[in-house]
Chains A and B, each alone.
Chain A
């Protein structure tokens, strides 16, 4: 059996996280209009909603079949459509991952890009003919469960055409992400953010296949640690079944925060990155996982 080493020659490292991309993603992408009060509460400043009265949530649940940095894994994401000054984009609130490549997907995403990723027990995406379903189970709760009808006759023709037209297209988009630093020191002190950076993480969705779908149901079970249910469905908008590549173009710095200004962001970034066990004394979980 071949063994590695805790020392890796420098020349072998030249490909480390180079030309990062998520290849051959397959699954459900969807959006809905959510409660404006909830959207305003959870959107970290200085980001702003594009339409404050009709905020839009985007979610996806996919199999990332060929990540460039890990074996395959399942990923589910929920975020709010927003803007930074005149740049439109998405703020990612929570990503849940499962499967063999999930640990590397989580570590590299959190540490390099500031993506709010956690591991969960189970993510399932399935499709049979025009029926497709996806669900996410985290800490024994089904925090997301969606059913869609692919190529449904209910979808307005113009909208269906627009979704189909994505096939072969390269759609470039921005995600607004925060990387943070904690202050070093004694653990007797309160832990505080000493620095935060708002990044424009740019990626492309290159669709090999994109089929329009009608949302039949979305059910989100409440959860203290992974509160996807907070983004309640006011009006289902659109869904699609897609197969696509998602190459990452890179991240650029939009704004830096220091001291108090950085620490003020912690309430917005906490739930996506940490569980409540980190802030309460009584916590335990037993059972079979």
Chain B
């Protein structure tokens, strides 16, 4: 049997994370209008909701069949459309990943790109004819469960204008806004964040297919650690069953830097996406069969 080594020659690592490509993704892409009070509460400054009165929330649940950096894994995310100055982008509140293969995507997403990723027990995407469904289960709770009718129209016809042209061969480029942090550990005090950077995670997506769909149901079980239910559905807008040829990361660049108190204050917005409440209160425990 072949063995590796705790020493890897540098020349073997020229292609480390190159390409950073989430090839062959397939799943559900879901859009709804959420509560404006919630959107303002959960969006970290200096980001602002794309629409203050009618904030646009999204979730996607998919398999990444051929990532450039790991075997296949399941992934789901929830976020808000937002703006930083004149840049319109999306801010991901949380990603959930499942399967043993998912860990590379999780820790590199967190450590290199500032993506708030966690592991969960189970993510399911299924489709039969025009019926499609996705489920995300984290810490014994079904935090997201959506049913779609594929092949018809969106719930809100306005979505057709927003996604005009999406289909086979359509190329989409858009910024994902993330935060990278430096942590400081000092004995006797909590871990602090003396530096934060707002990052433009620039990626391009080549769509293989995009089938508009109607949202028939969205249910989100409340959860202390993974509160997707906070981003409540005021009005379902529509969804799609889509598949991706390629979703390449073009690069990361710094949009803004924060230091001292200003940086540490951002922790309130990042805590839940990245960590569980067990890190702020001793005595957490979870037993059972997993």
B249 touches A187 (CB 8 A): yes
CB distance from A24 to the nearest CB of B (A): 11
Residues of A within 8 A of B276 (CB): 70, 103-104
- Knowing A184-B252, A284-B71, say if A289 contacts B227 (CB, 8 Å): no
Measured CB to CB, the closest approach of chain B to A6, in angstroms, equals 4
Q: Is B171 part of the contact surface with A, judged by Cβ < 8 Å? A: no
Given known pairs A5-B272, A118-B103, A279-B13, the reply for A70 and B278 (CB within 8 Å) is yes
- CB proximity of A197 to chain B, nearest CB, Å: 11
**Alpha-carbon gap, A107 to B106, bound state (A):** 9
- Is B5 positioned at the interface, with any CB of A under 8 Å from its CB? yes
User: 1/0 per position for B235-252, CB-CB distance to A under 8 A?
Assistant: 000000000000011111
Q: Judging by beta carbons under 8 Å apart, are B7 and A268 in contact?
A: yes
Encoded as 1 (CB less than 8 Å from any B CB) or 0, chain A from 90 to 109 comes to 00011000011101101110
Asked if B251 and A187 sit within 8 Å, CB to CB, the answer is yes
Q: Which residue of B lies closest to A6 (CB)?
A: B42
Complex CA–CA separation, A283 to B224 (angstroms): 36
> A258-283: contact bitstring with B at CB < 8 Å (1 yes, 0 no)?
00000110111011101111111101
**Closest A residue to B267 using CB positions:** A13
Interface string of B245-267 (1 = CB under 8 A from A): 00011111110000000000101
Binds A, one of B47-55, B161-169, B183-191: B183-191
Q: Give Cα distance in the complex from A188 to B253, angstroms.
A: 14
Contacting residues, chain A, for B230 (C-beta < 8 A): 3-6
Contact of A230 with B271 at beta-carbon distance under 8 Å, contacts A113-B185, A278-B104 already known? no
Which chain A residue lies CB-closest to B271?
Answer: A8
**Closest residue to B102 on the A side, CB-wise?**
A119
B1 and A139: CB pair below 8 A? no
> Shortest beta-carbon distance, A106 to chain B, in Å?
7
Stretch of B16-24, B25-33, B149-157, B207-215 contacting A (4+ beta carbons < 8 Å):
B16-24
Say yes or no: A267 contacts B4, CB within 8 Å.
no
Which of B2, B118, B119, B248 contacts A187, CB < 8 Å? B248
A158 within 8 A of B: no
With CB as the reference atom, state the residue of chain A lying closest to B66.
A284
Would you call B190 and A285 a contact (CB within 8 A)? Answer: no
B10 engages A71 (CB within 8 Å): no
A42-97 at interface with B (beta carbon < 8 Å): 42, 66, 68-72, 93-94
A19 beta carbon closer than 8 Å to chain B: yes
Contact B6 A108 (CB under 8 A): no
> A94 to B17, alpha carbons, bound, how many Å?
21
Say yes or no: is A186 at the interface (Cβ < 8 Å to chain B). Answer: yes
In the complex, are the beta carbons of A42 and B110 less than 8 A apart? no
| Chain A residue at minimal CB-CB distance from B12 | A279
Could you tell me which residues of chain A, from 204 to 229, have a CB within 8 Å of some CB in chain B?
A: 221-227, 229
Contacts of A186 in B (CB 8 A): 250-251
Report A-chain residues with C-beta under 8 Å of the C-beta of B70: 275, 277-278, 283
Q: Interface size on A (CB < 8 Å)?
A: 88
Contact (Cβ within 8 A) B190 A267 = no
Contact between B227 and A6 (Cβ–Cβ < 8 Å)? Answer: yes
Q: Which residue of A lies closest to B14 (CB)?
A: A190
A128 contacts across to B, CB distance below 8 A: none
Interface contact A289-B100, CB-CB below 8 Å = yes
Residues of chain A contacted by B104 (CB below 8 angstroms):
274-275, 277-278
Instruction: Tell me the complex Cα distance, A230–B3, Å.
Output: 7
B46 at the interface (CB under 8 A from A): no
Whether A104 contacts B275 in the complex (CB less than 8 A), given A9-B268, A227-B3, A227-B6, comes out as yes
With A104-B279, A184-B252 given, is the CB distance from A7 to B183 under 8 Å?
A: no
Query: What separation, in Å, do the CA atoms of A159 and B170 have in the docked complex?
Result: 70
Q: Does A157 contact B (CB under 8 A)?
A: no
- B281 an interface residue at 8 Å Cβ cutoff? yes
- Contact at B16–A279, with CB atoms within 8 Å? yes
Would A271 and B4 count as touching, CB distance under 8 A?
Answer: yes
- Identify the interface centre among A4, A72, A99, A182: most chain B CB within 10 Å of its CB: A4
* Contact (Cβ within 8 A) B1 A184: no
What separation, in Å, do the CA atoms of A264 and B8 have in the docked complex?
A: 11
Asked if A121 contacts B100 (CB within 8 A), the reply is yes
**A15 interface contact, C-beta 8 A:** yes
Known: A8-B272, A107-B107, A113-B185. A266 touches B227 (CB 8 A): no
Q: Is B269 an interface residue (CB 8 A)?
A: yes
Q: Which residues of A contact B (CB under 8 A)?
A: 1-10, 12-19, 41-42, 66, 68-72, 93-94, 99-101, 103-104, 106-108, 110-113, 118-121, 139, 141, 182, 184-188, 190-191, 221-227, 229-231, 249-251, 263-264, 266-268, 270-272, 274-281, 283-286, 289
Some 20 contacts from A to B, beta carbons below 8 A apart, are: A3-B223, A3-B224, A3-B227, A4-B224, A6-B231, A7-B268, A9-B268, A16-B267, A71-B286, A72-B285, A100-B288, A104-B279, A106-B107, A110-B107, A119-B119, A141-B1, A251-B185, A270-B8, A276-B4, A279-B13
* Across the A-B interface, the 5 shortest Cβ-Cβ residue pairs: A3-B222, A222-B3, A285-B71, A42-B6, A6-B42
Chain B: residues with CB nearer than 8 A to chain A? 1-10, 12-20, 41-42, 66, 68-72, 93-94, 99-101, 103-104, 107-108, 110-112, 118-119, 141, 183, 185-191, 199, 221-227, 229-231, 248-254, 265, 267-269, 271-282, 284-288, 290
